[in-house]
Amino acid sequence: HNPLDRNHSELRSGKVDLSKGEPFSIALFGIDSDAQRESAGGGERSDTIMILSVNPEKKTTEMISIPRDTQAEIVGRDTTEKINHAYAYGGPDMAVKSIEKLMGVPIDHYATVNMDGLKDTIDTVGGIDVTSNATFNAGGHQFTKGQRTHLDGDTAMSFIRSRKEEGA
């Protein structure tokens, strides 16, 4: 996480004061990069986009997911295309502005997780269980349709990136 390139959202009259329990929203991005792909020149797209809204006074949290293929105005480019392109064109700043324009919700902060971060998180929690919807091989691993499998971080990355594998 790095600060956004602004003092506060244009949809707010001022910066949110967390010490006063004011509601705030966070954009969450899951990007399609890792250390190897980042060194190749960037341009990462946000494959996962969520908005987390927190209201400390009411003790509520709400989260929505924005499908990455949602057609939206890309603020700063004056084009309408897939919302996940905003991150590739202008990083989190352009992505946040485009989400605000699409949803009409002020975004106060953001967090980004890349594929390395996802792998590390999966390993930290002891792995994940998945049930494959197809039988295929990926990254030297066999996945069988309908079979529940426990995956560590490396194996999960093979599974996640399998959409280009035959049968996936």
**Which residue ranges make up each domain of the chain?**
18-113, 117-164
pLDDT at 1: 60
**Mean residue pLDDT across the chain:** 88
Contacts of 155 (CB under 8 A, 6+ apart): 139, 141
Report the distance separating Cα 8 and Cα 107, nearest Å: 8
CATH of domain 18-113: 3.30.420.590
pLDDT (tens digit per residue) in 79-90: 999 999 999 999
Asked if 70 contacts 102 with a C-beta cutoff of 8 angstroms, the reply is yes
The pLDDT-based confidence of 164 (bands split at 50, 70, 90) is: low
pLDDT (tens digit per residue) in 19-78: 899 999 999 999 877 665 553 345 688 989 999 999 999 999 999 999 999 999 999 999
Contacts of 93 (CB under 8 A, 6+ apart): 4, 5, 6
Tell the residue number behind the tokens 């969520």, with chain if given: 50
Q: Which of 44, 165, 43, 41 is nearest to 115 (CA)?
A: 44
DSSP state letter for 57: T
pTM of the model as a whole = 0.76
